[in-house]
Amino acid sequence: MSKKPLSPPLTSTLLTPLVVSELTALYSHSSRHYHSLTHIVTLLSALHTHLPLFTDAPAIEAAIWFHDAIYDTRAPPSQNEIQSAALAVSLLRDSVDADRLHRIKVMIEATASHSVPSLEDLRSKDPGHLEDAKMFLDMDLGILAADEGEYAEYEKGVREEYAWVGEGQWKEGRGKVLRSFLERERIYASDAFGPLWEGKARENLQRSLMALEPVIDGGAEGGERGNQAFERATTAP
């Protein structure tokens, strides 16, 4: 997935300008090195590029805006995604119908594991909503299929977000992340993006895994919080 220019403009169909402004501030925090406003705009650009493929593009747009709104690398597994989804519900409940808001919530929560929710989970009978969820999750993982230079910048950014974790534990945890994706039958769930990205993503992940040096200290640095961080990170990019 190649990097898109910083367009479209920072607006949203379902979000008010005030909410967009508040989220923009969150994503612009100095602690954000990869999970930043650039990541959001890249996903919005991908959505707009492939707009005809989506059944409910405004819902996907909202899910993109909120999915990393809360991002604390020291948080327990899934807590960031649960809190980001809760923020979406609290800010959209007065303007978005309940069924659509539920789908937005479920899609945001699904980014914790990048496991595709079922139609039952989405409370929908429309197969298009399931395809929307697949494509949303795939776009969030699109960076794994980036060209080598952009992928290296992504890895650098994530490492900076986990700067508090010791190098030994980082290597141990990062290796676990990479292997977890390589062990999947399919990294990308959608027929729209899978054939385009699967091969390149596996190439990038395998190269990164091979580049990791052996962990000399057994990954003991970082303590229990480090263990929690990498328990979370094993299912998130």
Mind giving me the DSSP string for 163-230? TTS-HHHHHHHHHHHHHHHHTSS-S---TTTHHHHHHHHHHHHHHHHHHSPP-SSTT-TTHHHHHHHH
Write the DSSP string, 159-173.
HHHTTTS-HHHHHHH
User: Among residues 200, 190, 186, which one has the least CA distance to residue 151?
Assistant: 200
pLDDT exceeds 80 at position 140: yes
Same domain, yes or no: 99 and 76: yes
The answer to whether 46 and 190 are in contact (CB under 8 A) is: no
User: Does some domain include residue 3?
Assistant: no
Is the same domain home to 21 and 137?
Answer: yes
Pick the residue with more confidence: 164 or 236?
A: 164
Query: d(Cα 43, Cα 184) in Å, to the nearest integer?
Result: 23
The pLDDT tens digits of the residues spanning 195-234 come to 999 999 999 999 999 998 665 344 444 455 555 555 554 4
227 in the same domain as 110: no
Specify if 10 maps to a domain: no
Using a 10 angstrom Cβ sphere, with 0-12 exposed, 13-18 middle and 19 or more buried, the burial of residue 202 is: middle
User: What pLDDT does residue 214 have?
Assistant: 62
Task: For residue 25, give its domain range.
Answer: 17-142
Confidence of residue 12 (pLDDT cuts 50, 70, 90): confident
Q: How many domains is the chain partitioned into structurally? A: 2
N-to-C CA span, the chain: 14
Rounded to an integer, the average pLDDT of 14-18 is 95
Mean pLDDT taken over the chain: 90
CB atoms within 10 A of CB 223: 11
Is residue 200 located within the same domain as residue 125? no
**Mean pLDDT value across residues 77-84:** 97
pLDDT, one tens digit per residue, over 37-65 is 999 999 999 999 999 999 999 999 999 99
Both 128 and 151 in a single domain?
no
Supply the Cα-derived Rg of the chain in whole angstroms.
17
Same structural domain, 35 and 132: yes
| Residue 1, in any domain of the structure | no
- Could you tell me if 68 and 39 lie in one domain? yes
Contact between 68 and 39 (Cβ < 8 Å):
yes
pLDDT at 5: 43
